Structure 1
Amino acid sequence: MKNSILKNGIISGILVSMFMVCMTIYMKYNPTSEPSMIVGFTSMILAFSFVFIGIKQQKQANNGSISFIKAFTTGFLIALIASVMYVIVWLFIYYNFFPNFIEHYSQMMIDKAKPEDVATVTAEMNQYKEWYKSPVMIILLTFMEILPLGVLVSLLGALLFSVILKKKN
């Protein structure tokens, strides 16, 4: 089990991190272009397909049956490994290659805001700038980008493999 979780978590983490690196490079060298949230979340969903693979492998290792808790735990651990890798890669990128990211992102969000929303968006972006002064907050914010989706995919995978595709005796 541990081997399957580790292998699928690492593959998932590499995949989602590669997409993030590509999007960050694109954003840095195309300052007027807004990064696509659709591409970002699609890459996360694609990477989290390894949650399903890992749960299926675990089910096969248990003679075709798996409990909801075991399936969820397997999926969650795969998602956690991928999320940790994502956060580590982001910290490396941010501190070494794109330290002005939050200023760049804030300006982009303010520029694209509707005139009546500029004050609200500016206040929101100022809050993010404050948060980005702390490495702990950067870590927490980055986990909040990816881990909730990983938990959701883990729940779906656990439901799929332990309830919907339950082995009939």
Structure 2
Amino acid sequence: MWRTLLKYGLVAGVVAGGALLATMLAFQGQPPAGGVGMALGFASMLVALSAVYVGIRHHRDVAGGGVIRFWPAFGLGLGISAVAGLVYVAAWELCLVLADQDFAAFFANSMVEGARSKGVDGAQLEQVIAEAQAFEAMYRNPLVRMPMTFVEIFPVGVLVSLVSALVLRRPRAAR
């Protein structure tokens, strides 16, 4: 089971991390405007995390003789998702190095500019600026940034693991 977990977790992580790196290179280190970046990111996560389904099915068919119960399937899916999440975090850290851009400052400035474009001013704008500065300081700490990055992909992995375990617990599913 460990071999399956690592193999499919690395595949999912490399696909999601590779998509992250490719997006970063395609947009020259600048996050895409609007929700395009978020849509690309979550679409690539879903594609990458299809390795969870494939990994559980492989384990069921090879090691389980065509049968797997819900909890072992769900646990395997979570393990694959966790490995994928760790690779994704490493890819994001690489992106931060390669982009040669201060992402924390960029994001904080985006928060302030977004508030200004909505007409926020006075004390409310000062509050947004203070929150942006607090975020910027917090995001510079890798012990905060890395778990935040992991939480981007892992909940998607939990959902894919849940659905995959529910589908694959049936012996005739997906043959």
**TM-score scaled to structure 2, two decimals?**
0.82
Q: Which range is displaced more, 125-134 or 15-24?
A: 125-134
Provide the secondary structure at the position in 2 that maps to 1:115. Answer: coil
Contact 1:9-1:77 at 8 Å conserved across structures: yes
Among 84, 87, 90, the alignment partner of 1:85 is 87
Could you list the runs of 5+ residues in structure 1 that have no partner in the other structure? none
Kindly report the root-mean-square deviation, in angstroms, between the aligned alpha carbons of the 2 structures.
2.5
Contact 1:106-1:125 at 8 Å conserved across structures: yes
2:110 and 2:26 map into 1 onto residues whose CA distance is 14
Q: Which range is displaced more, 3-12 or 21-30?
A: 21-30
2:160 and 2:44 map into 1 onto residues whose CA distance is 13
Among 107, 110, 116, the alignment partner of 2:109 is 107
2:148 and 2:55 map into 1 onto residues whose CA distance is 26
Shift of 1:42: 0.4
1:19 and 1:156 map into 2 onto residues whose CA distance is 23
- Provide the identity percentage: 30
1:57 and 1:43 map into 2 onto residues whose CA distance is 22
Provide the secondary structure at the position in 1 that maps to 2:154. Answer: helix
Q: Deviations over 1:92-112 (max 9, x none)?
A: 332454350111122234323
2:57 and 2:129 map into 1 onto residues whose CA distance is 46
The number of aligned residues is 166
Query: 2:37 — aligned with what?
Result: 36
Could you list the runs of 5+ residues in structure 2 that have no partner in the other structure? none
Q: Deviations over 1:51-83 (max 9, x none)?
A: 000011111021111011110111111111110
Shift of 1:155: 1.1
Contact 1:4-1:54 at 8 Å conserved across structures: yes
Q: Which range is displaced more, 86-95 or 59-68?
A: 86-95
The one-letter amino acid paired with 1:148 is: P
Shift of 1:24: 2.3
Query: 1:150 — aligned with what?
Result: 157
Contact 1:55-1:75 at 8 Å conserved across structures: yes
Shift of 1:6: 1.5
Contact 1:28-1:98 at 8 Å conserved across structures: no
2:131 and 2:155 map into 1 onto residues whose CA distance is 21
Provide the secondary structure at the position in 1 that maps to 2:100. Answer: coil
1:124 and 1:24 map into 2 onto residues whose CA distance is 26
Confirm whether residue 25 of structure 1 aligns to residue 29 of structure 2.
no
Query: 1:11 — aligned with what?
Result: 11
Confirm whether residue 55 of structure 1 aligns to residue 62 of structure 2.
no
